[in-house]
């Protein structure tokens, strides 16, 4: 019998044995940790100048990790609310590594500062630029709002960016939370939780804590819903373990400050391009299950004229599932990577080709 014929039996045996599965899951996580290493940019002048503005730098400081690649177009991963950047792009790692190094920004557990995030991102881009490279900024959901906010600041103008990708972008608060009286089309699970958090009394820690705990259960439920009726590999289970760990270890204050960062998002003005270089927006076919009816980002991305004002060299693609009854959900890079990755590979290849032409 050929080895490949035996593999399905091996996989089935592993899945049915919890002890073996735990060992395999732990081994998968260890292999990832060996490949992805902490990284400190040589250039940190913006971050250092901001240090004295915070009582606790640790509470607002992102952890940066790096994974070596083989190309000259690095990627910086900017995640959504959860999971960490090091986990959300697990099934895109090989694709990214074929084009260059990967840098991951993992958000702090005990707090959050949009300003600190921006200076750390700027320092990292400058560090990459000093190596003679220009990165692609790859953002997911909430991370796309952070990215577009960053691009609208003067801090970004002196930096060299190869291109940007926005997967299921949330560019403004109104994408997830509508005014109180608007309930047409039903209330989304995330919308309900975010409203409760934003209405919580910040002076009463028990009120904030109670609402953040509800949100934790919401994100757990969303992941479990995505995993339902799927054959989960050891990679999936390792990511699940990390997601639950992030949800458990992110403090109430850390979760609350991420929501406050979302509250600061404003839709980019069409009076000026948000980014003039190559841009790719990936919209899942079932975005409306998470984003609210009338989402400004969906409206903008689906209107070619308005989108082109913001991203003159931009492309919007819809990510569609190949199977019935398995619609691609908002930011479903983990469970629908087979639908996302060909689109990403094609876009990166075009970037590479245009880079070669420019060098001739």
- In order of their start, the domains of the chain are 36-359 (3.40.50.1820)
Distance of CA 354 to the CA centre of its chain: 26
| Amino acid 189: pLDDT | 85
User: Residue 277's pLDDT is what?
Assistant: 96
From 64-78, 224-238, 259-273, the region with the lowest mean pLDDT: 224-238
Mean predicted confidence (pLDDT) in 292-313: 95
Range in 34-38, 64-68, 95-99 with the lowest mean pLDDT: 34-38
- Higher pLDDT: 51 or 352? It is 51
Closest CA to 146 of 166, 129, 127: 166
pLDDT of 163 over the 90 cut: yes
> Which of 26-40, 294-308, 345-359 comes out lowest in average pLDDT?
26-40
Task: Check whether 27 has a pLDDT greater than 90.
Answer: no
CA dihedral in degrees (253, 256, 258, 264; nearest 10)?
A: -130
Calculate mean pLDDT across residues 2-25: 47
Q: Which residue has the higher pLDDT, 202 or 70?
A: 70
> What is the percent of the chain where pLDDT is above 70?
89
Mean residue pLDDT of the chain comes to 87
Q: Does residue 32 register a pLDDT over 70?
A: no
Cα 102 from Cα 135, distance rounded (Å)? 9
Per mean pLDDT, which range of 1-5, 130-134, 166-170, 335-339 is the poorest?
1-5
pLDDT at residue 207, as a whole number: 87
- pLDDT at 63 exceeding the cut of 80: yes
Q: Above 50 in pLDDT, residue 209?
A: yes
pLDDT of residue 5: 52
Q: What is the mean pLDDT of residues 260-279?
A: 93
User: Looking at residue 218, what is its pLDDT?
Assistant: 84
pLDDT of residue 30: 46
Cα 41 from chain centroid (whole Å): 21
Query: Tell me, what's the pLDDT at 10?
Result: 46
8 A C-beta contact, residue 31 and residue 80: no
Mean pLDDT of 156-184: 91
pLDDT at 56: 81
Q: pLDDT category, 17, cuts 50, 70, 90?
A: low
Question: What's the mean pLDDT in 5-13?
Answer: 48
pLDDT digits (tens, 9 = 90+) for 144-160: 999 999 999 988 888 99
Helices (H), the chain: 3-16, 18-35, 45-50, 85-88, 93-97, 114-129, 142-151, 189-199, 205-227, 234-249, 252-263, 296-301, 304-310, 337-359
- Residues with Cβ within 8 Å of 117's Cβ and at least 6 positions away in sequence, in order, are 62, 105, 107, 146, 150, 261
pLDDT digits (tens, 9 = 90+) for 101-140: 999 999 999 999 999 999 999 999 999 999 999 999 999 9
Residue 244, pLDDT > 70, answer yes
Q: Report the pLDDT value the prediction gives residue 109, as an integer from 0 to 100.
A: 93
């Amino acid at each position: 019998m050929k080895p490949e014929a035996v593999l399905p039996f091996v996989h089935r045996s592993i899945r049915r044995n919890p002890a073996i599965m735990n060992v395999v899951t732990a081994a998968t996580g260890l292999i990832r940790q060996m490949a992805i290493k902490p990284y400190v940019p040589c250039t940190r002048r913006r971050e250092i100048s901001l240090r004295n503005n915070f009582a606790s730098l640790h509470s607002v400081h992102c952890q940066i990790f790096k994974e070596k690649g083989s190309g000259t177009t690095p990627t910086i991963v900017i995640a959504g609310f959860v999971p960490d950047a090091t986990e959300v792009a697990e099934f895109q790692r090989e694709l990214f590594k074929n084009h260059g190094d990967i840098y991951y920004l993992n958000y702090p557990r005990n707090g959050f500062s949009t300003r600190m995030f921006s200076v750390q991102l700027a320092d990292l881009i400058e560090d990459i630029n000093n190596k003679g490279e220009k990165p692609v900024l790859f953002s997911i959901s909430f991370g796309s709002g952070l990215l577009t906010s960053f691009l609208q600041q003067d801090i970004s103008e002196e930096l060299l960016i190869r291109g940007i990708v926005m997967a299921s972008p949330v560019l403004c608060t109104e994408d997830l939370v509508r005014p109180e009286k608007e309930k047409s089309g039903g209330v989304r699970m995330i919308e309900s939780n975010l409203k409760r958090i934003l209405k919580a009394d910040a002076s009463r820690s028990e009120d904030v804590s109670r609402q953040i705990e509800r949100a934790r259960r919401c994100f757990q439920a969303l992941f479990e819903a995505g995993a339902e009726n799927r054959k989960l590999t050891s990679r999936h289970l390792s990511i699940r373990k990390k997601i639950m760990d992030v949800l458990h270890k992110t403090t109430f204050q850390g979760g609350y400050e991420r929501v406050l960062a979302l509250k600061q998002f404003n839709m980019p003005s069409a009076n000026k391009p948000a980014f003039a270089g190559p841009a790719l927006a990936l919209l899942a076919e079932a975005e409306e299950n998470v984003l609210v009816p009338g989402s400004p980002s969906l409206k903008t991305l689906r209107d070619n004229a308005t989108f082109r004002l913001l991203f003159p060299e931009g492309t919007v693609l819809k990510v569609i599932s190949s199977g019935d009854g398995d619609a691609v959900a908002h930011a479903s890079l983990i469970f629908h990577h087979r639908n996302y990755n060909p689109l990403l590979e094609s876009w990166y290849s075009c970037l590479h080709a245009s880079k070669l032409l420019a060098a001739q």
